[in-house]
Amino acid sequence: MMLRSHGLLLARIALGGFFFLSGVQILIGGMAGINGVSGMISSTGLPLATVLAFIVVAIKVLGGAGLMLGYRTGLAAFTLFLFTAAATLAFHLGPAEVNIFGWDMGLFKNLAIMGGLLYAMAYGPGEGWKVG
């Protein structure tokens, strides 16, 4: 019972915090941060890269906060799941940065995160502390 209430809370904070802090880091970088994300997006050939960069920041900050707070957990997790799936397709299935085993570890990291987000979608915020 304790794991169900406190374990899910810790999992929400860990997963949500990952996205939230990543989005805040881009914001703290100001236009340099936005331009960096925009450059990555434009490298895939997508149009309106700067607009998409601001959307990325909004998804990360709002989705991460929602997940951490347990507010509309299913929607937050679903949105972050779609975002992570899109990022995985765009950045981790082509030529890869590899480790000594020849694998793109970013791909496996994203798949693990997506697994955690599926749990959040399936089980909601849990019985522990949450908003709304």
Do 56 and 19 meet the contact criterion of CB atoms below 8 Å apart? no
- Which pTM was predicted? 0.88
Question: In the chain, where are the structural domains located?
Answer: 2-123
Instruction: Express each pLDDT in 80-130 by its tens digit.
Output: 999 999 999 888 776 555 555 666 778 889 999 999 999 999 988 887 778
Terminal CA-CA length for the chain:
21
Q: How confident is the model at residue 78 (pLDDT cuts 50, 70, 90)?
A: very high
Q: Would you report the helix, strand and coil content of the chain in percent, each value rounded to 5?
A: 75, 0, 25
Residue 98 DSSP class: -
- Report the C-alpha dihedral over residues 21, 23, 29, 35, rounded to 10 degrees: 150
